[in-house]
Amino acid sequence: MDSDDLGLFGPGSVTWKLHEEPILIVAGLRSLYLQALHPRAMAGVAQNSNYRRDAWGRLVRTAEYVGTTVYGTTAEVEAAGRRLRALHARLRATDPVTGEVFRVDEPDLLRWVHVTEVESFLSTARRAGVALTGAEVDRYYTEQRRSAALVGLDPGDVPGTAAEVADYYRRVRPELRMTKEAAETALFLTAPPIPWKVSLPVKLGLHLGPPRWAYLGIAGTALALLPAWARRMYGGLGLPTTALSADLSVRALRLALAALPRRYREGPLQQAAKARAARLSAAA
């Protein structure tokens, strides 16, 4: 296997264009709020995950997986997909309504997680000011069918255009509920425990208002970026945010992140992929 290839996408893809944006960290949080509204998917997470004890570790691992699928070599991407499929194949959960034991890698559940994730990436980026044409939007969804295949989905059964995603949401909405687990998860996402390196000043008696309030602002923005029907289900969690305030906040945050030095905006996977692309272009 060529260790110097460009993996699933490459510099000419909409995927690389979109995932250059650090603002997608807000999109990841948005997708978690959305995913929690599916009772069966939520049961699969709650019954198989230690996300409450290791919230930040789980977030880092998820980000690393997404980064690998976007920027890794073909060998790295396929290895990550095999590991994830093997993990999911071992997991079972109990339906909170019917009591049925089910596999967490059921296609309907995998499809829900995939669609909410890629739609969150795309929607958040556009509302933050990333310029994408309608054709590029459809191309992104089509490209992301390759990522869907990695988790075990048939790409032909995955929405591949904006119209297909909108239709998918219309069909799945009757299955969504504001359950006790969804509410608890949303509250946890809004006010998670602070990592120990950040919480150390608190233990020393120092003030830590700004980081907590900054995160709360990001969480409120992610929640307000949800589709209107999902925001209504959550009732806003009592946060004073609106769709307009979310648009303004996410645009301001994107500008702030763009001002950071490149070493903070780009992870090692992205930097390595760009270096491979430059080598391959120079050798062509």
Alpha carbon distances (Å) from 181 to 37, 142, 188: 9, 32, 10
Tokens of 185: 């998860």
| 260, 202 contact by CB (below 8 A) | no
Could you tell me the two tokens for 259?
Answer: 């001002």
What is the predicted pLDDT for the residue at 208? 43
Q: What's the confidence (pLDDT) of residue 15?
A: 98
pTM of the model: 0.90
**Half-sphere exposure in the Cβ direction for 244 (13 Å, CA):** 0
Q: What is the pLDDT of residue 235?
A: 84
Say what the pLDDT of residue 219 is.
Answer: 87
Q: 240-250 in b/e burial notation, b at 16+ Cβ within 10 A?
A: ebeeeebbebb
Contact 10, 16 (CB under 8 A): yes
* Short-list 154, 173, 174, CA closest to 165: 173
CA distance 36 to 24: 19
User: CB under 8 Å to 135, separation ≥6 — which residues?
Assistant: none
In angstroms, the CA 73 to CA 41 distance is 30
Q: What is the pLDDT of residue 117?
A: 98
Per run of 10 residues, the mean pLDDT along the chain (length 284 residues) is 81 96 94 95 89 72 94 96 97 93 97 98 98 98 98 98 98 95 88 57 42 76 93 76 86 93 89 93 86
- List Cα–Cα distances, 197 to 52, 194, 201, 268, in angstroms: 18, 8, 8, 22
Rounded to whole angstroms, how far apart are CA atoms 212 and 186? Answer: 16
What is the C-alpha to C-alpha distance for residues 280 and 284, in angstroms, rounded to an integer? 6
Phi/psi for 101 (5° steps) reads -85, 130
Tell which residue, 20, 21, 2, has the closest CA to residue 11: 20
pLDDT number for residue 172: 98
- Measuring CA to CA, how many Å separate 9 from each of 39, 85, 200? 33, 21, 41
CA 226 to chain centre: 13
DSSP assignment of 102-116: EETT-HHHHHHHHHH
* CA–CA gap between residue 125 and residue 19 (Å, rounded): 9
